[in-house]
Amino acid sequence: ILAPTRELAEQIADNIKAYTKYTDLSVVAVFGGRKMSSQVSALENGVDILVATPGRLEEHIEQGNVSVANLEFLVFDEADRILDMGFIHAVRKIMLDVDTDPQIMMFSATTSSQLNLLAKDILRKPKRIEVERANTTAHTVAHVLYPVDQERKTELLSELIGRKNWQQVLVFVNYKETANDVVKELKLDGIKAVVCHGDRAQSARRRA
């Protein structure tokens, strides 16, 4: 199973371990940000289900730590994000090492010309299943728009958190630097805040 990020790969592996708890199936996750040596140890005796990010799997294949020659199933989870993150070359190199004719499944929230091209290259007579996305917004969610100047957004956020006594708030921003700035300003206002983005160490993101 290929996943675009270490977080998703780890989540998938944890779920599969729960599903296979009472079976003999072995599950291993390999991704960047962890020592290769510990992953090599987990791979030494072979594995039934391998969850990996494309880049790290490519490394293990090149070093002879794992073989994908006899794959039975190959799953691309969030295939659109795998391509968006620039893993197309790693994916193609991995496919060159597959000697069997595995069943391939690609899951994607969006489609693109690049994704369609990859599907055309590696899938044979595929069945395409499209699921119409229903209105997934929970009835308990209220949408509110606050017109505010760019430079006063965090000031307004801080004021709302205090006035409305919000206990748990998840804030999405466009850039890592913005995330750092928002957390810094909130802390100055006495609000406990943590940042979570790709420049943070994996351990720091886990703590967050």
pLDDT value of residue 124: 86
Mean pLDDT within 156-172: 94
Per-residue pLDDT band at 207 (split at 50, 70, 90): confident
pLDDT value of residue 133: 66
Mean pLDDT within 28-54: 92
In total, the chain counts a number of residues equal to 208
Q: Which residues contact 87 (CB under 8 A, 6 or more apart)?
A: 4, 53, 54, 55
Q: For residue 195, is pLDDT > 90?
A: yes
DSSP 8-class letter at 150: G
pTM here is 0.69
Q: For residue 48, is pLDDT > 80?
A: yes
Q: For residue 153, is pLDDT > 70?
A: yes
Range from 132-136, 162-166, 177-181 carrying the lowest mean pLDDT: 132-136
Q: For residue 67, is pLDDT > 70?
A: yes
Range from 40-54, 68-82, 127-141 carrying the lowest mean pLDDT: 127-141
Q: Which two tokens stand for residue 99?
A: 């000697």
Per-residue pLDDT band at 112 (split at 50, 70, 90): confident
The single-letter code of the amino acid at 158 is S
Under a CB-based contact definition with an 8 Å cutoff, are residues 97 and 68 in contact? yes
Domain 6-122 in CATH 3.30.160.70: no
For 42-130, strand residue ranges (E) read 49-52, 73-76, 103-106
Alpha-carbon span 60 to 175, nearest angstrom: 32
Q: For residue 155, is pLDDT > 80?
A: yes
pLDDT value of residue 5: 93
pLDDT value of residue 125: 87
Alpha-carbon span 52 to 55, nearest angstrom: 8
Mean pLDDT within 3-10: 94
pLDDT value of residue 163: 93
First vs last C-alpha separation in the chain: 27
Domain with CATH 3.40.50.300 in the chain: 6-122
What tens digit of pLDDT does each residue of 113-150 get? 888 888 988 888 889 888 876 666 677 888 899 999 98
